[in-house]
């Protein structure tokens, strides 16, 4: 399969995307972080790091983490989530946590997600390929999803299926610590990430890695980022953090929810169930999202969450394609409109919700 290399979609350009520009979600997030920081400083707390996420006063700590998984603020990397922080710690986060903790967690009102409120323009769904998988930053999870996608593509090709231009894939290999200024640098980032994978993954995917490496950074289309979302039968959403105990959501998920296109999401266990409980239309009638309840066993064997995720995604696309186009397009437009309206209501409710929530938090940290 002939693949082209596209160096134009640089990492920093993602912030020029429609959801960032229309919702100003980064500004809202930073403004809220500054509010918390100001109050904690007034209460005598001092920041313990440059990122201003962990504060201390005497023996007491306050952790503030929005959008990112709050476990990244802990130094106890080998400790289970209930014991990441001691009993004198209060965590302020938008994360949804599914296990009890010895520290106190103050979860923001769900209307916080109103920071992602936006109405996509020219969102006409016109699918002609199976998946859209767009990735700028390289990490283990994103690499493994690509390897599993391509593993199945190679198996389909061996079985005689036509796989040219099966999916829209843009995998740029941008790395925080790598060389992002050249094709060779990005290719080396891919190699270094591969070398960090556990041996069980290398054994399963060695042939896939060998096939992909010459084409890195991988891009097999020349569509703009948003357009590739609108020309696939299903969008693959990869949240930065996945966990069996925490759901951490970002603009990636809410972009997909606001487009009239089916999607699957690799994220924390029960992410889809959580979104459904908040009132979002997750298109359960089109996609079962059974992968949502699977734990990450990290084997790359049948039953592994990642393997099931891609397998179920492929089956969902086959089911979707067999549906009446008029019925299907109207159903997806209905879901997108519903989700846009819900985010707009969340944004409107946020000031009151926050005002009612904050006094109880003050009592815990003062």
pLDDT digits 0-9 by tens, 143-171: 999 999 999 999 999 999 989 889 999 99
Kindly report each contact of residues 307-311 with a partner whose C-beta sits within 8 Å and lies 24 or more positions away, as own/partner.
Answer: 307/148, 309/145, 309/148, 309/264, 309/266, 310/145, 310/148, 310/149, 310/152, 311/152
> Of 50, 56, 54, which Cα lies nearest the Cα of 70?
54
* Rounded Cα gap, residues 148 and 53, in angstroms: 35
> Of 231, 309, 297, which Cα lies nearest the Cα of 265?
309
Torsion angle (degrees, nearest 10) of CA 194, 198, 199, 205: -50
pLDDT (0 to 100) of residue 13: 58
Provide the β-strand partners of residue 106: 92
Residue intervals of the chain classified under CATH 3.40.50 are: 11-17+120-339
Q: Residue 91 — φ and ψ, nearest 5°?
A: -105, 125
CATH (residue range 11-17+120-339): 3.40.50
Who contacts 244 (Cβ-Cβ below 8 Å, separation ≥6)?
Answer: 268, 269, 295, 296
Provide the β-strand partners of residue 47: 55
> Of 110, 73, 205, which Cα lies nearest the Cα of 193?
205
Who contacts 356 (Cβ-Cβ below 8 Å, separation ≥6)?
Answer: 109
Who contacts 228 (Cβ-Cβ below 8 Å, separation ≥6)?
Answer: 132, 134, 168, 170, 221
Reduced 3-state DSSP string for 276-336? HHCCCCCCCCCCCCHHHHCCCCCCCCCCCHHHHHHHHHHHHHHHHHCCCHHHHHHHHHHHH
Q: Do residues 118 and 23 lie in contact, with contact meaning Cβ atoms separated by under 8 Å? A: yes
* Rounded Cα gap, residues 256 and 132, in angstroms: 11
Helices (H), the chain: 18-23, 25-42, 140-158, 183-195, 199-212, 225-230, 251-257, 271-277, 305-321, 325-365
Per-residue pLDDT of the chain (366 residues; tens, 9 = 90+): 434 444 444 445 567 789 999 999 999 999 999 999 999 999 999 999 888 999 999 999 999 999 999 999 999 888 999 999 999 999 999 999 999 999 999 999 999 999 999 999 999 999 999 999 999 999 999 999 999 999 999 999 999 998 988 999 999 999 988 888 899 999 999 999 999 999 999 999 999 999 999 999 999 999 998 999 999 999 999 999 999 999 999 999 999 999 999 999 999 999 999 999 999 999 999 999 999 999 988 888 888 899 999 999 999 999 999 999 999 999 999 999 999 999 999 999 999 999 999 999 999 999
What is the value of pTM for the model shown? Answer: 0.94
pLDDT digits 0-9 by tens, 86-101: 999 999 999 999 999 9
pLDDT (0 to 100) of residue 112: 98
Number of continuous H segments (helices) and E segments (strands) in the chain:
10, 12
pLDDT (0 to 100) of residue 39: 98
C-alpha 13: how far from its chain's center? 17
Joined tokens for residue 197: 């994978």
Q: Do residues 129 and 233 lie in contact, with contact meaning Cβ atoms separated by under 8 Å? A: yes
């Amino acid at each position: 399969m002939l693949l082209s290399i596209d160096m134009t979609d640089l990492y920093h350009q993602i912030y020029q995307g429609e959801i960032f520009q229309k919702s100003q979600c980064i500004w809202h997030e930073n403004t809220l972080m500054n509010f918390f920081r100001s109050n904690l400083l007034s209460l005598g707390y001092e920041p313990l790091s440059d990122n201003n996420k962990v504060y201390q006063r005497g023996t007491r700590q306050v952790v503030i983490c929005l959008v990112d998984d709050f476990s990244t603020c802990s130094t106890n990397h080998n400790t289970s989530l209930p014991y990441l922080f001691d009993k004198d710690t209060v965590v302020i986060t938008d994360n949804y946590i599914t296990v009890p903790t010895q520290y106190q967690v103050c979860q923001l009102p769900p209307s916080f997600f109103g920071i992602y409120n936006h109405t996509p323009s020219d969102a006409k769904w016109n699918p002609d390929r199976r998946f859209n998988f767009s990735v700028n930053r390289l990490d283990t999870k994103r690499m493994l999803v690509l390897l599993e996608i391509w593993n199945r593509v190679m198996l389909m090709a061996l079985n005689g299926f036509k796989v040219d231009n099966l999916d829209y894939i843009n995998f740029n290999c941008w790395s925080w610590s790598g060389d992002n200024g050249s094709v060779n640098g990005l290719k080396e980032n891919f190699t270094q990430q591969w070398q960090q994978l556990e041996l069980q993954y290398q054994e399963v995917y060695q042939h896939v890695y060998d096939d992909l490496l010459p084409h890195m950074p991988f891009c097999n289309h020349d569509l703009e980022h948003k357009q590739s979302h609108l020309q696939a039968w299903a969008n693959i959403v990869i949240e930065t953090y996945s966990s069996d105990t925490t759901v951490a959501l970002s603009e990636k998920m809410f972009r997909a929810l606001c487009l009239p296109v089916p999607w699957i999401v690799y994220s924390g266990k029960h992410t889809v169930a959580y979104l459904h409980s908040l009132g979002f239309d997750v298109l359960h009638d089109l996609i079962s999202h059974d992968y949502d309840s699977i734990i990450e066993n990290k084997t790359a064997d049948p039953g592994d969450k990642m393997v099931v995720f891609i397998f179920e995604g492929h089956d969902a696309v086959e089911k979707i394609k067999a549906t009446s186009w008029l019925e299907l397009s109207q159903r997806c437009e209905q879901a997108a409109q519903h989700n846009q309206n819900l985010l707009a209501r969340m944004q409107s409710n946020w000031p009151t919700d926050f005002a009612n929530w904050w006094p109880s938090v003050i009592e815990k940290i003062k």
